[in-house]
Each structure stands twice: as structure tokens, then as C-alpha cells.
């Protein structure tokens, strides 16, 4: 065993958190560390032996991530005498309560869970380890989503996609060439997911203005500090250029940390994420296998941007007290759309009923400030073009989504989660349908 245990740099230092906070609250920097290097497998295995020699480790991977790096990591761990149990996950994988139960059962007697992979594998490991109160490390294989460092996991519970608390990993080990060579669609998905912040941050400001008063500029400031590394270089990310791809990966790690620091997914997940969750949840009903999280979120970003654009044109004198009617119409659709899951969805929607009822009073009261926020978002065609520039097709057809399923999500996704987003404002003001048409003109 090595005499000393190695420590790696934290992804975000405490000083950054203190200096950029605008809310005056507490933001203790998460102690997530990153080791990045071509020898990350060896280093991770050695660190694992140093920390968990004589203890037991559970390694999660799937056929793809095993071929890329999981098999090597497993053999290194075994070679160093670490008691590692392999938990091979199937190709077609879901982050749901059924899968979680199985992994948690396998965690018996385990001291550390290691996820090797991206979104789903990471969420499964993180959530299982959190609930078994055991340590969690991860080896990301693609710059495809921002959940590596976040304090939440997206898990389908009784058919409803929930973002549930789950401690981030203590340690991340990344192999730059693996991140760089991840498939194009995964890079495109990560590019969309990291850009969700440009609409979700405004959703959060609106929620804060109307209801929660909990907005903090820290998450956004952290993202702005790194976004020149990826936001303007979609073609380079598409080509797999090293600086651009690693810049994107780093942006995703920061985005996850930003959510941890905010104590909520609000900085990086607003209305644009709801449509993605909607399609994930509809899989058992429609049979459509969901597209990558980030790509579906990309469609949601264009929709949110279209809502903001419509809202900038809306006249305050056209506001009328219609929250009860709008709520009722959406609530009435829930049984048809959700079948066996209708009860769970109805409960989520019910949870924000009292907030939505206050729209009748609050929107006109704050309209001037709201208008300023609406105009902070770039128009939808800007995002549609940006996502296409990564190089893979970006359309409903490419994502195997029918026009009907897109429209259904756009009009009804706001019911699946209690957080207030731009989709609620657009529905209340009656501009949502027009925004959907604007959006369809760009992605069909
Ligand atoms: Zn703050
Ligand atoms: Zn996301």
C-alpha cells in the first residue's frame, strides 16, 4: 500500500464561492476533487487501494463504458488486490426506482461505489450510494450532461421523473482522450445541457422575484467565468477539438457544482428540462425510447427562448385574471396524457396551484421588472442554429419525436413539477401556443 494517500485539487475553491455570492447566504464549496490525466485509471485504482484496502468496492458500468475504460479499471483494481465487485448494467438502462432497488441490494457490505459512465450510470451510483450512506467516486466517460458534480439525481419514481437529493462524488477521475473521443451525439447533448443555464437562470430570477426571493448570482458568475471555453465554439466541439471538448467538460462540471452551491437545481434546470423529463416519463406509454437528456433539453431551450420572445411582445394591458381557468384546463388533460401515472403527476401540479393562482395579482404588479428579465434571453433561432453547428442533425425527426408528441410536451410539461418556470408564464398569458409554433418552424 502507498504510504501516503493522494489528494487532488477541488473543482471549486471556497474563495470563489464567497466572492461572487449576491444573496448573502452560505455556500460551502463542495469537496469534489478532480484528477485528470491519461493515467487516471491507474491513479484511481491506487487511490482506491490507499483508501479502501481491506474494504469492499462496487463498480458499475455498462457494455459501452466497459469497453472504453471499465474493463481496464476493473483489472487494475483486481491487480492491486482491492476487493471489487463488478455490477454490469445492461445497454438499455433506466434511472428508475426498480433499478435503484437492485443496486442498493448489491451495496450490502460495500464501502465505496464507483460509477464508470455518463448520465444514467452516474445517477444510479450516486443515488444508491447516498441512500446506503456509503462513499461514491466516479469516472466520467463523456461530456454529455452536468450531473457528475451535482447534489441531485434524476430518478423516475412511480413513473414520475424526480430530481432527488444525492451527495456528489467525493472524487472524479477523468481521462482527457476518453472525454475528447466521446461520440458526437454525446458531445452535442452536453453542449445543450450546459447552455440550459441561459434560460433556466432567468426562470430562477422570475421565481425569485415573484415568490422565493432566493436568487443568487454566484452560479451564473461561475458559468460566465468559463463559458468562453465552449459557448462560441460549437464546430470545434463537433470536430472533437481537445481544448473545446475539455472546455465543455469543465463547463459541465462547474454547472453541476453551481447547482450544489445553490442547494437547488434551479440555476441549471428550468422549463427547458421539463419537456425532456416529460418524454422520459412517457416512454412506457408511447414506446418511444428517449433521446439523450441534453438533446431533449436542447429542444426545451429553443421552446423556452420562444416563450421569452413572445412574452417580450405581450402587453401588460392584455393581462387578465385567468389562472383558475388555465390551471383547470391543464389539470383536465392529466388523466389522458398520463394514464396509470396520472395520480403522481396531478399531485405535482397541485403543489404549485397556490403559486399559479397568485399570477393574477403578481404579474401585473411586477410587469416592468419581468419585461427586463424576458429580454435577457436570446431569440430561439439563435439556439437552433448554435445546436446545429455542433454537426449532428438537430430536429424532431432526428430525435424520433412526432409533431404531436412535441406539442403535447410543450403545452403540458409544466404540470409535472412544482417549480414555476417560463412555461407557466407563457400558459398564463396565452402565448404558449404561439411560442410552440415559433419553435416548430425551427426544428421540424
Ligand atoms: Zn449567494
Ligand atoms: Zn440537464
Is pLDDT above 90 for 311?
yes
Based on the domain organization, do 196 and 162 belong to the same domain? no
Same domain assignment for residues 388 and 428: yes
User: How confident is the model at residue 353, as a pLDDT?
Assistant: 97
Gap between the Cα atoms of 256 and 259, Å rounded = 5
CATH code of the domain covering residue 334 = 1.20.1090
| Residue ranges making up the domain that contains 42 | 14-178
Residues 413, 437, single domain; the answer is yes
Nearest ligand atom owner, CA of 122: 2
Distance 204 CA to ligand 2 centre (A): 15
Residue 15 pLDDT:
79
Model pLDDT for residues 251-287, shown as the tens digit of each residue: 999 999 998 888 778 888 899 999 999 999 999 999 9
Whether residue 2 has pLDDT greater than 80: no
Ligand nearest to the CA of 152: 2
Same domain, 427 and 318: yes
Read off the pLDDT of residues 355-389 as tens digits, 9 standing for 90 and up. 999 999 999 999 999 999 999 999 999 999 999 99
The domain boundary, picked from 157, 178, 199, lies at: 178
Please report the pLDDT score of residue 229 as a whole number: 94
What pLDDT does residue 314 have? 97
Assess whether 417 and 366 both reside in one domain: yes
User: Which of the four pLDDT bands, split at 50, 70 and 90, describes residue 30?
Assistant: confident
At residue 14, does pLDDT exceed 90? no
Q: Note whether 427 and 294 are within 8 A (CB).
A: no
Asked which of 150, 178, 206 is the last residue of a domain, the reply is: 178
Residue 341 Cα, ligand 1 centroid: separation in angstroms? 37
CA of 21 to the centre of ligand 1 (A): 4
pLDDT at 429: 97
CA of 309 to the centre of ligand 1 (A): 28
Domain final position from 158, 178, 198: 178
Task: Specify if 250 maps to a domain.
Answer: no
Tell me, yes or no, whether 107 and 203 share the same domain.
Answer: no
Specify the pLDDT at position 195. 96
Q: Within this chain, do residues 283 and 317 fall inside the same structural domain, yes or no?
A: yes
Q: Cβ contacts of residue 260 below 8 Å, gap of 6+?
A: 30, 32, 149, 150, 151, 168
pLDDT band at 161 (very low <50, low <70, confident <90, very high): confident
421 shares a domain with 274: yes
Query: For residue 135, how far is its CA from the centre of ligand 1 (angstroms)?
Result: 28
Q: pLDDT band for 324, please (50, 70, 90 cuts).
A: very high
Looking only at the bridges linking them, the beta strands covering 152-157 and 160-165 are: antiparallel
Report how far ligand 1's centroid is from the alpha carbon of 315 (Å). Answer: 33
Give the count of beta carbons closer than 10 Å to the beta carbon of residue 27.
Answer: 21
Higher pLDDT, 195 or 92: 195
Which ligand has an atom closest to residue 273 CA?
A: 2
End-to-end CA distance of the chain: 58
Looking at all shown ligands, the one closest to residue 193's CA atom is 2
Pairing of strands 33-36, 171-174: parallel
CA–centroid distance, 261 to ligand 1, in Å, is 8
Ligand nearest to the CA of 200: 2
Confirm whether 78 is domain-assigned: yes
Distances 161 to 66, 96, 274 between C-alpha atoms, Å: 27, 8, 9
What total number of domains does the chain contain? Answer: 2
Write out pLDDT tens, residues 393-414: 999 999 999 999 999 999 999 9
- 348 in the same domain as 293: yes
Residue 187: the pLDDT is 97
pLDDT band at 147 (very low <50, low <70, confident <90, very high): very high
In a domain, 253, yes or no: no
Q: How confident is the model at residue 13 (pLDDT cuts 50, 70, 90)?
A: confident
Q: How far apart are CA 128 and CA 394, in angstroms?
A: 34
| 254 in any annotated domain | no
Pick the ligand that lies closest to the CA of residue 296.
Answer: 2
64 lies in a domain? yes
Among all bound ligands, the one having the nearest atom to the CA of 17 is 1
- For ligand 1, a single-atom ion, the residues with CB < 5 A are 21, 23, 25, 216, 218
Confidence of residue 19 (pLDDT cuts 50, 70, 90): confident
Is pLDDT at 156 greater than 80 in this prediction?
A: yes
343 lies in a domain? yes
pLDDT of residue 77: 98
282 and 428 fall within a common domain:
yes
Residue 367 included in any domain: yes
Same domain, 36 and 101: yes
294 Cα–ligand 2 center, Å: 6
217-256 pLDDT, tens digit per residue, is: 999 999 999 999 999 999 999 999 999 999 999 999 999 9
Where residue 113 sits, what CATH number does that domain have? 3.40.50.1970
The average pLDDT across 415-422 equals 94
Residue 270 located in a structural domain = yes
Q: At what angle do helices 293-313 and 197-207 cross, to 10 degrees?
A: 50
Average pLDDT over the chain, rounded to an integer: 95
**pTM tops 0.75, yes or no:** yes
Given a cut of 80, whether residue 308 has pLDDT beyond it is: yes
Question: What is the pLDDT, as a whole number, of residue 136?
Answer: 98
The answer to whether residues 171 and 281 belong to one domain is no
> Looking at residue 204, what is its pLDDT?
96
pLDDT at 296: 98
Closest-approaching ligand to the CA atom of 20: 1
Amino acid at each position: 500500500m502507498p504510504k501516503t494517500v493522494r489528494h487532488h485539487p477541488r473543482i471549486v475553491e471556497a474563495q470563489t464561492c464567497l466572492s461572487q455570492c449576491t444573496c448573502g447566504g452560505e455556500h460551502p464549496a463542495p469537496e469534489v476533487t478532480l484528477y485528470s490525466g491519461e493515467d487516471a485509471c491507474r491513479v484511481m485504482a491506487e487511490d482506491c487501494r490507499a483508501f479502501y484496502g481491506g474494504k469492499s468496492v462496487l463498480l458499475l458500468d455498462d457494455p459501452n463504458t466497459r469497453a472504453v475504460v471499465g474493463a481496464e479499471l476493473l483489472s487494475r483494481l483486481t491487480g492491486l488486490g482491492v476487493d471489487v465487485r463488478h455490477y454490469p448494467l445492461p445497454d438499455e438502462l433506466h434511472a428508475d426506482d426498480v433499478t435503484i432497488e437492485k443496486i442498493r441490494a448489491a451495496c450490502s457490505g460495500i464501502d465505496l461505489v464507483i460509477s464508470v459512465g455518463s448520465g444514467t450510470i452516474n445517477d444510479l451510483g450516486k443515488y444508491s450510494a447516498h441512500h446506503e450512506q456509503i462513499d461514491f467516486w466516479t469516472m466520467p466517460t463523456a461530456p454529455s450532461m452536468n450531473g457528475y458534480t451535482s447534489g441531485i439525481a434524476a430518478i423516475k419514481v412511480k413513473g414520475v421523473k424526480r430530481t432527488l437529493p444525492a451527495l456528489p462524488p467525493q472524487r472524479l477521475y477523468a481521462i482527457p482522450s476518453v472525454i475528447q473521443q466521446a461520440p458526437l451525439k454525446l458531445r452535442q447533448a452536453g453542449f445543450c445541457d450546459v447552455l440550459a443555464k441561459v434560460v433556466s437562470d432567468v426562470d430562477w430570477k422570475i421565481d425569485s422575484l415573484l415568490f422565493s426571493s432566493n436568487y443568487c448570482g454566484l452560479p451564473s458568475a461561475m458559468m460566465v467565468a468559463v463559458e468562453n471555453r465552449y459557448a462560441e465554439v460549437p464546430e470545434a466541439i463537433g470536430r472533437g477539438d481537445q481544448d473545446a471538448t475539455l472546455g465543455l467538460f469543465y463547463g459541465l462540471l462547474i454547472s453541476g457544482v453551481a447547482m450544489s452551491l445553490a442547494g437547488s437545481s434551479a440555476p441549471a434546470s428550468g422549463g427547458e428540462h421539463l419537456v425532456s423529463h416529460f418524454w422520459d416519463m412517457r416512454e412506457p406509454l408511447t414506446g418511444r425510447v428517449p433521446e439523450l437528456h441534453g438533446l431533449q433539453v436542447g429542444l426545451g431551450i429553443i421552446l423556452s427562448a420562444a416563450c421569452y420572445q413572445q412574452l417580450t411582445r405581450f402587453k401588460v394591458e392584455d393581462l387578465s385574471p385567468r389562472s383558475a381557468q388555465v390551471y383547470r384546463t391543464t389539470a383536465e388533460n392529466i388523466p389522458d396524457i398520463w394514464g396509470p401515472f396520472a395520480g403522481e403527476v396531478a399531485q405535482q401540479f397541485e403543489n404549485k396551484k397556490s403559486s399559479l393562482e397568485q399570477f393574477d395579482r403578481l404579474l401585473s404588479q411586477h410587469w416592468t421588472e419581468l419585461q427586463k428579465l424576458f429580454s435577457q434571453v436570446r431569440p430561439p433561432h439563435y439556439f437552433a442554429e448554435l445546436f446545429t453547428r455542433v454537426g449532428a442533425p438537430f430536429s424532431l425527426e432526428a430525435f424520433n419525436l412526432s409533431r404531436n408528441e412535441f406539442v403535447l410536451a410543450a403545452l403540458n410539461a409544466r404540470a409535472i413539477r412544482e417549480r414555476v418556470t417560463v412555461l407557466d408564464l407563457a400558459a398564463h398569458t396565452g402565448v404558449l401556443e404561439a411560442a410552440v409554433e415559433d419553435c416548430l418552424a425551427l426544428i421540424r
